[in-house]
Amino acid sequence: MADIDIRRGHALGLEGARAAADRMLAHLAKRFDLAGEWRGNVLHFERPGVNGSLHVDAEHVHLSVALGFLLRAMKGSIESAIQREMDGLFPTRGAGGGDRGPPPRNTT
């Protein structure tokens, strides 16, 4: 079962999403000694205490991460860091936040 599960739309197309995933892995590999490999359009990655996958297609990405016992205590900060990384690498469709949910309702 995933401790962190993030799904979002993007505007990169398949090739762009794969390139963004490669940049993300390169950054995380330097910072956290993370190793990964592609199997089709799924990037699998791991290191002691962490394993997961990033599924990419032409319009969506789905990140699933399982944390080891010691890292679960830091889940909130890890998830926030991942969200920031993905915000920079996987821009959403449209100007108003893409697939992050419906726009706020105007109650006036």
Instruction: Write out pLDDT tens, residues 14-62.
Output: 999 999 999 998 888 888 788 899 999 999 999 999 999 999 999 999 9
**Residue 50 is assigned to a structural domain of this protein:** yes
Report the number of distinct structural domains present in the chain: 1
3-class state of residue 46 by DSSP: strand
Instruction: Quote the pLDDT of residue 93.
Output: 66
**Residue 80 is assigned to a structural domain of this protein:** no
**Residue 90 is assigned to a structural domain of this protein:** no
Q: Distance from CA of residue 77 to its chain's centroid?
A: 14
* Domain around 47: 4-68
**Residue 26 is assigned to a structural domain of this protein:** yes
Separation of alpha carbons 34 and 101, rounded Å: 31
Query: Is-above-0.85 flag for pTM?
Result: no
User: How far is the CA of 105 from the CAs of 70, 95, 108, in angstroms?
Assistant: 41, 17, 9
Compute the C-alpha angle 22/18/101, nearest 5°.
Answer: 110
